[in-house]
Structure formats: structure tokens, C-alpha cells
């Protein structure tokens, strides 16, 4: 049950979205926790609570000890391969179908936005759809590579050159973000008049600069997050709550006012 203050904020967010001409969404791991995928920094459940990201999820760590990366990513990839989009993903997809939402910029590698039916997605931190050989750069089907690893526990080797190790096309710490994705996300942030930011602590650069770029270029910000974020003070509406509860309510008000 949502309290009156949250309902008022939902109505404000719906009014801003209903009046927007170029709405863009920006999402983080928090939008997928209701699909069973843990986020990274939540106090009691975040993935980084028990491991040092720079040891297991950096490109240096991967090259030095790929087994440590694959052992770390095992539980996450099991969850991602079986997860379904939740009500928050579907609410954003409905906004795109209704012609309100132009694109989604996401830090998530779980592919749940594409599985919810979005067409224009900027995956800033890559995805698990493909895996690339770090020796000969051959590209393989990422989901098959992960399923193979989940069944035999062996670090996946390249079928092309036979010796190289396959790395999922996710961006590890120390790697450049994919140019096209970052460029597209920055253009979308400059062009939008409203950005709805969902489920991100906004603690990782350069992704965390995207909502601020939108704000600096005149867009209104709506933030839906369980905890406060550094961008809350720039936002027109801040709603601290579960995305899977809040976003469908916002959409309901948008549809009611049409």
C-alpha cells in the first residue's frame, strides 16, 4: 500500500511524463532485483558485499585469473539466463509502445529490457548475448558459452583459435565503454526533455554522468530508487520505493490522464 506522499509524487511524475515530448529512461541493477537478480551495492544483498570487484570483475583480473571471474559470475549468470522482465521493465516498454518513451539507457547486462520488447536500448556496460576471444577476437554466442560453463565449470576456450579465452561482451572495470552506446546515450541525454532514472546508486562513472548531463541540458529528472542518490537534489520528483510497484502506478496515471 503506497502512502499519500508517494501517491502525490507518482501523480507529479505522471504529469511530467504525460507532458514530455522526448522521454528517456536510465536504469541500473535496482530495476532487476524484482526479477531475482541482486544489485551490486544494496546493504544486505549487493553483489560487491563479499568480493572485491577489481579482483574478479576487472579486465586485469580477468586476464590474470579468468577462473576467478567465471566462478564469481556463475550465480549471476544462472539468475540472468532464467530471469524474466518484471512489472517495472514492462511499464517502461509500455511507455515506449504508447509513444512516450524514445529510448532506454541501461547499465545492466541482463538483457531484460530487450526481452521486455524495447527497440532503442543503449547497453552502456555491454550484455551477455555474445562472448569474444581475447586472443583472436572471434565472436561466439554468449548464452551458449555461459550455459557450457555452467554445465562443465571449465573456463570457455575459443573454438576458432583453440587457445584464446572467451570473455562475455560485458564491460569490466578498466575497460572503455562501447563508443556507439556511450555516444548514443549522451545524445539521448542532451535531446530529452525528461529523464526517468530507475534503480541506480549513480556511483559508477562515466554512466553516472548521464542523468546529470540531461539535467544540465535542461531536462526534468524523475528518480525512482529505494535509497537516496547523489542526483536526488537535481531531480524534479524523487520517489523512494520499489520500481516494480512505482512504475506501473505512474503509467496508470499517465494513461488515466490521456
> Quick one: what does residue 136 bind among ligand APR, Zn ion, none, with the CB cut-off 5 to 8 Å set by partner type?
Zn ion
Work out how close the CB of 74 gets to ligand APR at its nearest, in angstroms, rounded to a whole number: 17
Between 20 and 106, name the residue whose CB sits nearer to ligand APR.
Answer: 106
**Taking CB under 5 A as the rule, does residue 129 contact Zn ion?**
no
89, 90, 100, 125: which one is catalytic? 125
d(CA 250, CA 163): 51
Between 158 and 222, name the residue whose CB sits nearer to ligand APR.
Answer: 222
Binding-site residue total for Zn ion (CB under 5 A)? 8
Q: Which residues contact 16 (CB under 8 A, 6 or more apart)?
A: 194, 220, 222, 236, 237
Is 125 an annotated catalytic residue? yes
Work out how close the CB of 208 gets to ligand APR at its nearest, in angstroms, rounded to a whole number: 8
d(CA 37, CA 76): 7
Residues that bind ligand APR (CB under 6 A): 28-30, 33-34, 39-42, 46, 53, 107, 125, 199-201, 203-204, 225-227, 242-244
Residue of minimal CB distance from ligand APR? 30
Site string for Zn ion, 131-170 (x = CB under 5 A): --x-xx-x-------------------x-xx--x------
Between 103 and 201, name the residue whose CB sits nearer to ligand APR.
Answer: 201
Residue positions annotated with a catalytic role: 125
**Which positions lie near Zn ion, rule CB under 5 A?**
133, 135-136, 138, 158, 160-161, 164
Amino acid at each position: 500500500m503506497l502512502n499519500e506522499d508517494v501517491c502525490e509524487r507518482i501523480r507529479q511524475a505522471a504529469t511530467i511524463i504525460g507532458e514530455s515530448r522526448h522521454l528517456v529512461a536510465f536504469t541500473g541493477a535496482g530495476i532487476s532485483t524484482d526479477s531475482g537478480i541482486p544489485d551490486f551495492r544494496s546493504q544486505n544483498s549487493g553483489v560487491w558485499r563479499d568480493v572485491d570487484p577489481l579482483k574478479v570483475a576487472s579486465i586485469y583480473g580477468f586476464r590474470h585469473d579468468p577462473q576467478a571471474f567465471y566462478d564469481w559470475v556463475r550465480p549471476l549468470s544462472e539468475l540472468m539466463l532464467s530471469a524474466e522482465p518484471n512489472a517495472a521493465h514492462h511499464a517502461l516498454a509500455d511507455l515506449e509502445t504508447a509513444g512516450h518513451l524514445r529510448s532506454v539507457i541501461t547499465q545492466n547486462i541482463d538483457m531484460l529490457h530487450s526481452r521486455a520488447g524495447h527497440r532503442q536500448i543503449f547497453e552502456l556496460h555491454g550484455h551477455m548475448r555474445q562472448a569474444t576471444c581475447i586472443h583472436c577476437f572471434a565472436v561466439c554466442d554468449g548464452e551458449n558459452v555461459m550455459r557450457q560453463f555452467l554445465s562443465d565449470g571449465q573456463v570457455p576456450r575459443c573454438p576458432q583459435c583453440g587457445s584464446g579465452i572467451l570473455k562475455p561482451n560485458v564491460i569490466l572495470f578498466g575497460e572503455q565503454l562501447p563508443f556507439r552506446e556511450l555516444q548514443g546515450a549522451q545524445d539521448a541525454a542532451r535531446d530529452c526533455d525528461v529523464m526517468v532514472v530507475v534503480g541506480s546508486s549513480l556511483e559508477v562513472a562515466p554512466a553516472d554522468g548521464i542523468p546529470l548531463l540531461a539535467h544540465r541540458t535542461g531536462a526534468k529528472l524523475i528518480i525512482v530508487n529505494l535509497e537516496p542518490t547523489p542526483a536526488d537534489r537535481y531531480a524534479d520528483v524523487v520517489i523512494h520505493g520499489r520500481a516494480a510497484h512505482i512504475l506501473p502506478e505512474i503509467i496508470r496515471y499517465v494513461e488515466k490522464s490521456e
